[in-house]
Amino acid sequence: MPTLYHCPNSRSSRVVAQLMLIGKLDAVEVVPVSVERFDGTGRRDPRNPHPEGKVPYLVTDEGQGVRESAAIMMYLDELYGQPLSPKIGAPDRGRYLSWMTYAGGVLDPVLVAAFSGLDHPAINGAYRGLAEVCTALETALAEGDFLLGDTLCLADILLASPFQWAPHLMPDSAVIKAWVERVSAAQDGQAIAAYEAETTAQLSALEDA
């Protein structure tokens, strides 16, 4: 089975949320690992094969490493029959792929810049800012409850996740706030929290051993 290297309460948590939502968490071996966090806590875990010691990281049945949240989530979605994405060739497939790559190509850099207090013409020119992110999301959500209309898709889980973890970075938009709430409501928050607590305990036991 595929192996997911996961650190609780990190970017890999959205992969866990995806697997729980489609009922496939038991189909993947989850290995708890530590990571270096921006506040100086944590450490690089020698058990983690990611080239930079980050998460999420997936190793397929064939032994190939898959990195970056969007790639891992799309890989798993396709592996298990695409329950959370338009089928290949479907009319919304291009829009879906655009949002999946927007997450890492635009949203993450903009949020990191905002969190860090960075304001530079090179950043603004390449990625724009929170105002543009807000406009992009509001425009998409004008057509339905979720990014592709009335049905939750993988892109919703991916793009809403930073605002679930860091609500202070969420644009002051009633439309976006309501969307994040809908995405959260579609997931089993209690089950995710319980899993993260259990995984944290496992990780602590491994590090104390």
**Phi first, then psi: what are they for 149, rounded to 5°?**
130, -125
Q: Is 159 helix (H, G, I), strand (E, B) or coil?
A: helix
Are 170 and 195 part of one and the same domain?
Answer: no
Report residue 147's pLDDT band, with 50, 70 and 90 as the boundaries: very high
The per-residue pLDDT for 124 is 83
Omega of the bond leading into 56 within 30 degrees of 0 (cis): yes
Helices 69-79 and 13-21: crossing angle in degrees, nearest 10, is 20
Q: How many CA atoms lie within 13 A of 93 on its CB side?
A: 9
In degrees, rounded to 5, the angle at the alpha carbon of residue 13 between the alpha carbons of residues 170 and 64 is 125
Task: Tell me what pLDDT residue 41 has.
Answer: 76
Q: Is a pLDDT exceeding 70 seen at residue 208?
A: no
pLDDT at 116 exceeding the cut of 90: no
The mean pLDDT of the chain is 94
Query: Is residue 193 domain-shared with residue 123, that is, in the same domain?
Result: no
pLDDT above 80 for 106 = yes
Between residues 27 and 122, which one has the greater pLDDT? Answer: 27
| Segment holding 136, helix H or strand E | helix 130-141
CB 154 within 8 A of CB 77: yes
Co-location of 67 and 130 in the same domain: no
Answer yes or no: do 30 and 11 share one domain.
yes
Residue 2 has pLDDT above 70, yes or no: yes
pLDDT at 122: 85
Pairing of strands 57-59, 65-67: antiparallel
Q: In terms of pLDDT, which residue wins out, 114 or 142?
A: 142
What confidence tens digit (pLDDT) does each residue in 21-59 have? 999 999 999 999 999 887 767 788 899 999 999 999 999
Residue 159 has pLDDT above 90, yes or no: yes
Statement to judge: residues 53 and 99 lie in one domain: no
DSSP classification of residue 168: G
pLDDT of residue 118: 86
* Shared-domain flag, residues 181 and 99: yes
- Tell me, yes or no, whether 56 and 128 share the same domain: no
- Same domain for 126 and 181, yes or no, is yes
Q: Could you list the residue range(s) of the whole structural domain that residue 173 is in? A: 93-186
Indicate if the pLDDT at residue 134 is higher than 80: yes
* Structural domains counted in the chain: 2
Give the strand pairing for 65-67 and 29-32: unpaired
pLDDT at res. 43: 87
Q: What is the pLDDT of residue 38?
A: 73
The CATH number linked to 47 is 3.40.30.10
Radius of gyration of the chain from its Cα atoms, rounded to whole angstroms: 17
**Residue 62 and residue 31 in one domain:** yes
Tell me the pLDDT band of 66, cut-offs 50, 70 and 90: very high
> Which of these, 159, 113, 116, lies nearest to 140 by C-alpha position?
159
Instruction: Say if residue 209's pLDDT is above 80.
Output: no
CATH of the domain at 144: 1.20.1050.10
Q: Hey, what are 168's tokens?
A: 């202070």
Task: Report phi then psi at 88, rounded to 5.
Answer: -60, 125
pLDDT of residue 37: 81
Residues 97 and 151 in one domain: yes
First to last CA, the chain: 26
Tokens of 109: 């850099």
Rounded Cα gap, residues 45 and 17, in angstroms: 23
- Whether residue 93 is predicted with pLDDT greater than 70 in this model: the reply is yes
Residue 170 and residue 115 in contact, taking contact as beta carbons nearer than 8 Å? no
56 shares a domain with 118: no
Residues 151 and 69 in one domain: no
